[in-house]
Amino acid sequence: MGRFGLLLIFGAVGLAALLLISTVYGTTPIPAVDAFDAILLGTGLVEGDMAPAHRIVFDLRLPRALFAAVIGAGLGIVGVVLQTTTRNDLADPFLFGLSSGAAAGAVFVITVTGDLLGFWTLPLAAFCGGLVASGIVLALVRGLRTSAPEKLILAGLAVSFLFSAITNYLIFAGDSRAAHSVIFWMLGGLGLARWETFPLVCAGLLLILTYALYRSRWLDALLTGDLTASTLGVPVQGLRFSMFFVAALATAVFVSVAGVIGFVGLMVPHIARGIAGPLHNRLLPTTALVGAALLTGSDILSRLLLAPQELPVGIVTTSIGSVFVFILLFRTAKYQRK
């Protein structure tokens, strides 16, 4: 087994340890033995009655831990796809208005309509908002009759500002009693993690990972530039649109259940490239592991830093991300001076 295979194994073991910590530690500490019993009882592998501690583990903490891992992996892969297709190392879902659109949809439900469709109202509204934002970006780029990366970025920024303004208006004009829910959701959180919506986030991860792996050779070709990729037979414009559309779908799914979690899509690809290199057949699985570990660890911190209160996980990831960007800038400046 090569070095890369060993790194993946160690990464998987580390992620499993974080998932275990996430299910054991919280406002009410639960022994690891009881956590395993809860999982066995909940999955029906053993028979018996579930105690309250078992229900805390299986109905609340376990789905939350799995949501963190899946969403972290998905946002990381979205970041890789966007950075490659736009040739911009700072690209992430926020840069293209995808998260802003989903946030506007969710805030509209919280402040204006309420839960018209029950539990699914908020995820569905956020998903539709993300799709509308991505549709506007694609329509703008198509109207300009170009797929140049800089045009895609400018269109995304314009849409991001537009939906941010809509969101702020809804917060100001809506029910002030919903302000706490709006702020917590906009800063990201995994409080909506339920078994009912777990297949949804798994579908989002499967969509972006499968398509990115399927087009990994074309993505590798894009690293050499549009002209070289075209000479290698890559339909550059079609690939850029299709990858952006798939990334938009996946992002809408993730934001619809976890809110706006910042900097994961920006940080994780850079960390993964330092481990696996730039080629996507190794970069994508590495990114998934790093993203899952980062968001799971951040969620653990969000529950422990102000216990028994819960800190929005977006605050943790944004704090880590700001330090990461500072380090990235200093390393780039140091490299340029040499």
pLDDT of residue 337: 59
Q: Please, what is the Cα angle at 133 between 148 and 313, to 5 degrees?
A: 105
Q: Where are the alpha helices (DSSP H) in 178-235?
A: 179-186, 198-214, 216-222, 226-231
pLDDT of residue 147: 58
pLDDT of residue 336: 58
Buried b (16+ CB within 10 A) or exposed e, 48-71: eeeeebbebbbbebbbbbbbbbbb
Residues 6+ apart with CB under 8 A from 25: 300, 303, 304
Q: 262-316, pLDDT tens digit by residue?
A: 889 889 999 999 899 999 999 999 999 999 999 999 999 988 888 778 888 988 9
pLDDT of residue 41: 79
Yes or no: say if 81 and 247 are a contact pair by the CB < 8 Å rule.
yes
pLDDT of residue 72: 95
Two structure tokens written together for 252: 């809408």
pLDDT tens series, the chain, 338 aa: 577 888 888 989 999 999 988 888 877 778 778 777 777 777 777 777 777 777 888 888 899 999 999 999 999 999 999 999 888 887 887 777 777 888 888 888 888 777 666 667 777 888 888 888 888 887 877 776 665 667 777 777 888 888 888 888 888 876 666 666 777 677 888 877 888 889 989 999 999 999 999 999 999 999 988 888 888 888 988 888 888 888 888 888 888 888 888 889 889 999 999 899 999 999 999 999 999 999 999 999 988 888 778 888 988 998 888 888 888 777 766 665 55
Cis? peptide before 308, omega within 30° of 0: yes
Two structure tokens written together for 337: 């001076």
In angstroms, rounded to a whole number, what is the distance separating the alpha carbons of residues 228 and 2?
A: 31
**Domains of the chain: which residue ranges?**
3-337
Q: Where are the alpha helices (DSSP H) in the chain?
A: 3-24, 32-42, 52-55, 62-86, 98-108, 121-143, 149-173, 179-186, 198-214, 216-222, 226-231, 236-258, 264-276, 280-304, 313-337
In angstroms, rounded to a whole number, what is the distance separating the alpha carbons of residues 38 and 51?
A: 8
pLDDT of residue 71: 95
The CATH homologous superfamily to which domain 3-337 belongs is ABC transporter involved in vitamin B12 uptake, BtuC (1.10.3470.10)
